[in-house]
Amino acid sequence: MVTLLNRKDRMTMANSLEVRVPFADKRLVEYAYNIPYDMKLLNGREKGLLREAMRTLLPDEIIDRKKSSYPKTHHPIYTQTVKNMLKNIISNKNARILEIIDKHEIENIINTDGESFTKPWFGQLMTGPQVMAYLVQLDTWLNEYNVKLEID
């Protein structure tokens, strides 16, 4: 949940939007958790009860659309792109990220197209290609904001 909320913040703030997440209220989540499963799957659909509760407020194309997950690409071009970006970063001996990572471990992830990264990070959200992209973003952040690291 924290990861998704952070992503929502980054995406919306980058586009000058203020967004509220209505289903992040702890009381609502606890209440919904205790709803019987057959009610949640009303009409044999995931989120069936929610869909029916919103039917008069939202258009049918929204209510009846197929569920889609948060976009996460496994496309080879994406993997190749983030792999090349990260390879360029760690080839620079002055790269800021080298202060906090194990270069040999990252080279292993790069050389295997992310396949050597077998333990997903943040649950199931980050695998090899996503971790490579995360490291590129982290290095960019370190540089852009001139972050000072004090590592003991």
Mean pLDDT for 81-96 is 95
Maximum Cα–Cα distance across the chain: 60
Neighbours of 36 (CB within 10 A): 8
Mean pLDDT of the chain: 85
Q: Are 97 and 151 in contact (CB under 8 A)?
A: no
Sorted by where each begins, the domain ranges of the chain are: 2-63, 76-144
- φ/ψ region of 84 (left if φ > 0, alpha if ψ in -120 to 50, else beta) reads alpha
Decide: pTM greater than 0.85.
no
Residues whose CB is less than 8 angstroms from the CB of residue 112 and which lie 6 or more positions away in sequence, other chains included: 128
Instruction: Provide the pLDDT for residue 123.
Output: 54
Residue ranges of the alpha helices (H) in 34-125?
Answer: 37-40, 48-54, 60-63, 76-91, 103-111
Q: What is residue 121's DSSP assignment?
A: B
Burial status of residue 117 (CB atoms within 10 A of its CB: 0-12, 13-18, 19 or more) = buried
pLDDT digits (tens, 9 = 90+) for 8-38: 888 888 888 878 776 777 888 888 889 998 8
pLDDT digits (tens, 9 = 90+) for 32-47: 889 998 888 898 888 8
Separation CA 115–CA 108 (nearest Å): 9
